[in-house]
Amino acid sequence: MKDRLDETKTDDAKPLAGTQTLVRGLDVISAVSDGHVTVQAISEALGLTRSTAHRLASTLVDQRFLNFTPRVGYSLGPKLLELGHQASRQMSLTRTAHDYLVNLAHATSDTVHLGIRDGDQALYLDKVPGGRRVEISSRVGDRHPLRSTGLGKALLLDETPEQWAAVYDAESMTHPGYMVGRAEWLKRMKTYAEGGYSFDLEENEDRIRCVAAPIRDMGNRIIGALSLSSAAQYMDDDRMQALIAEVIATARAISAEFGWTEKWLEGE
C-alpha cells in the first residue's frame, strides 16, 4: 500500500503539459506491461520522480487502464482488455470483409461500405468505390447517424420497437429536419427487420440511395453491416429490390467467416 500512498515533496508539483502527460501515461502502461509493477520500479524505468509516477499510475487506475493490488503492485486493467477486444474485432472484420466488398463492388459497379455501431452512431471502417462516376461523400473513419443511413438501420435490425423509437427520438434532437416521420420510420424498420435488410432512400445524402444488410457472428449477434450505395438514377425501386438478395448473400458470406451458420435461418 505504501507505493500508492507515498508521495515526496521534492517532485515538481506543477501539472504536466497535456501532450507530455499523455505520453508519460502511455509510457507507464508500457512499463507495467513490461513487469515494472511498483511506483519505484516505474519511476526508475521511465526516469520519473516517484511522485510523478504515483500520480500518473493513480490516474490510470481511476480510469481502469491499470489495477492496483496492495503488496503486489500494478497490473494492466480491464479498460485495456475492452479496447483490445474492440480493436481486434474492428481490425479482423475489416480485413476479413474486404475481399467480399471488392467483389460486390465489381459485380454491381456500386460503392460498398463496411461499418459498425459505435455508441449512438455508425462508424465506417472500409469503403470500396464502384465503377460509376458517382461521388459519395463518405470516408473511412466517418461517423453517421443510425436512423438515416442504410448501414445504420442494418445495425439496428435486432433492436426492439421501443429501442428503435428511442434512437429516432434521440436523433431528432441531434439531427433535426429528418424527412421521414416517426411512425413511418418505425413501420419501415419493422419491414426491414422481417426481411433482414435496410434501405437509405436519399435520407442521409441527397440523391444517394443504399441497400444494406447486417453481418453476424456465431451467436447470431450483429457485429457490423455493409451497404451498397449509388446515385438515385442507378438505384430505382426495382433495382433496389433486386439487389437485396445479393447484398444479403455477401453479408452472410462474411458472417460465415465469423462462425455464423444458416441454422439461424430456421427460426425465420
pLDDT in the model for residue 134: 85
pLDDT in the model for residue 51: 94
Query: If we measure between CA atoms, which residue out of 129, 184, 186 comes closest to residue 156?
Result: 186
pLDDT in the model for residue 267: 63
Q: Are 151 and 128 in contact (CB under 8 A)?
A: no
pLDDT in the model for residue 201: 97
pLDDT in the model for residue 17: 65
pLDDT in the model for residue 144: 94
Q: Looking at this protein, which amino acid is placed at residue 72?
A: V
Instruction: Identify the segments of the chain with pLDDT beneath 50.
Output: 1-14
Cα dihedral value 238, 244, 250, 253, nearest 10 = -150
pLDDT in the model for residue 86: 76
Three-state secondary-structure class, residue 155: helix
Three-state secondary-structure class, residue 258: coil
218-229: pLDDT as tens digits? 999 999 999 999
Q: Are 208 and 150 in contact (CB under 8 A)?
A: no
Query: If we measure between CA atoms, which residue out of 113, 107, 120 comes closest to residue 137?
Result: 113
67-111: pLDDT as tens digits? 999 999 999 999 998 887 777 677 799 999 999 999 999 999 999
